[in-house]
Structure 1
Amino acid sequence: MAVEGKDRSKALEAGAQMLSGQLGKTVQRLRKAYNLSLSELAEQSGVAKSIISQIERNETNPTLATIWRLSQALDISIDRVLSSADDEPFIEKASRADTPILVSEDGKMRLAIIGWIKTVEWLQWYDVQAEPGAVLESDSHQRGSVECLSVLEGEFEVEVGGVVQQAKTGESLRYRCDRPHTVRCVGSTPGRAVMVCILKAAVMD
């Protein structure tokens, strides 16, 4: 359940204090994931370049307003910037009825959304089942996004920018998905795969 109003502000302020040592690294990783210079991030966020530099070096404790402006410029929720790992163990179960299904236009490829809703802004993954000849055409995702298709059964083909590559059972294809791309089941038997999409907001080295 989302925290609202004053409780939300208190939670964010507490998160900012608790993660002061990690915030700079997070901002720097996000900036680099976007291929932004300090000057470009300063221009987009309205936060002075010198302040951003100090934040990245953990030499200052930014105000909530500053964190908010940076989160907007980096296209990521402030909750995620300030979120901390919960040490409490948990197990969540999603039933088949609770799992959304996407279907390709030709009706021959089905993608069960098995990813976690809390990661949907930066990481998505799907259980792919396809009939022979199935085609999934996708528009461009956010700039800098990468997709991975790991084939469990059958044979698939991926086309990006005129480049085509195939993968059989046990093989994987990784490709830029920030441009139109097409996935096809090219074998004579049904195909099964796991598809993972790492979006532009992912925090990566």
Structure 2
Amino acid sequence: MASSGARRRPLAVPQPDPALSVPPRVGEQIQRLRSERRMTLDDLSRAAGVSKSTLSEIERDKANPTIAVAWRLTTALGVSLDSLFAPPKTPEAITVAGPHDTPTLSGHDEKYQLRVWGPIDLAGKFEWYELILPPGGALVSAAHEPGTREHLTVLHGTLEIETAAIVKRLKTADTARYAADAPHTIRNSGKGEAKALLVVIHG
């Protein structure tokens, strides 16, 4: 029989998860989603039917949206309402994309093949590709936005780059750097397949 003077152990009180005690930064989430979709404040304001001033206050976490306003914003952004309040996922330290995860673009009549190595969220800012051209194949490009530059490194074979009425011939391991805000063409001038790394830095 236990002594009447024995002390009872205090009941363990569960501690709240610190992550759950911090409210989600809804405004920050909305701003991130809008930026990813390249929408301006005006674009999202019109699409969601929310005034620009209100949207600006929400994005700066100066005001909390009602459920109705949050629903209109998420609908305009193409995401579910619950995803807006979900805690952000911790990014993986290393992500690996296999061959089947790499999009490939083929030109008309298979005159070129572009393997998109850059992540989709950098499209329109910084892009890099593996360019494969059969003999006589060519990648013909219209002018990109002002200030855009391309960097072309030949990995195998022989290529020609033509821009502004100037033609330069490149061999394996050569790199050409040129303005891409004018029409330009990359052409395989050799007898075998050519392969190159193409980096596009948008202005």
Residue matched to 1:96: 99
In structure 2, distance between residues paired with 1:142 and 1:196: 15
| Change beyond 3 A, Cα 1:10–1:183 | closer
In structure 1, distance between residues paired with 2:173 and 2:98: 27
- For the 8 Å contact 1:106–1:134, the answer to whether it is kept is no
Point out where structure 2 has 5 or more consecutive residues left out of the alignment. Answer: 1-23, 32-54, 60-89
Equivalences for 1:136-175 in 2 at 5 Å? 136-175=139-178
CA drift of 1:11 comes to 5.2
Residue matched to 1:111: 114
Residue matched to 1:125: 128
Residue matched to 1:196: 199
Look at both structures and tell me which one has the larger radius of gyration over its CA atoms. 2
- For the 8 Å contact 1:105–1:136, the answer to whether it is kept is no
Q: Counterpart of 2:108 in 1: which secondary structure?
A: coil
- Give the TM-score, by structure 2 length: 0.56
Figure out how many residues of one structure are paired with residues of the other and give that number. 130
- Give the TM-score, by structure 1 length: 0.55
Q: Counterpart of 1:97 in 2: which secondary structure?
A: helix
* Bigger helix fraction: 1
Structure 2 letter corresponding to 1:162: A
For the aligned residue pairs, the C-alpha RMSD in angstroms reads 3.1
Q: Counterpart of 1:142 in 2: which secondary structure?
A: coil
Point out where structure 1 has 5 or more consecutive residues left out of the alignment. Answer: 1-5, 14-63, 69-86, 201-205
Structure 2 letter corresponding to 1:149: L
1:184 aligns with 2:178: no
Deviations 1:109-142 (A, max 9, x none): 1110001222213100001111111111111111
Q: Counterpart of 2:121 in 1: which secondary structure?
A: helix
In structure 1, distance between residues paired with 2:26 and 2:167: 48
Structure 2 letter corresponding to 1:98: D
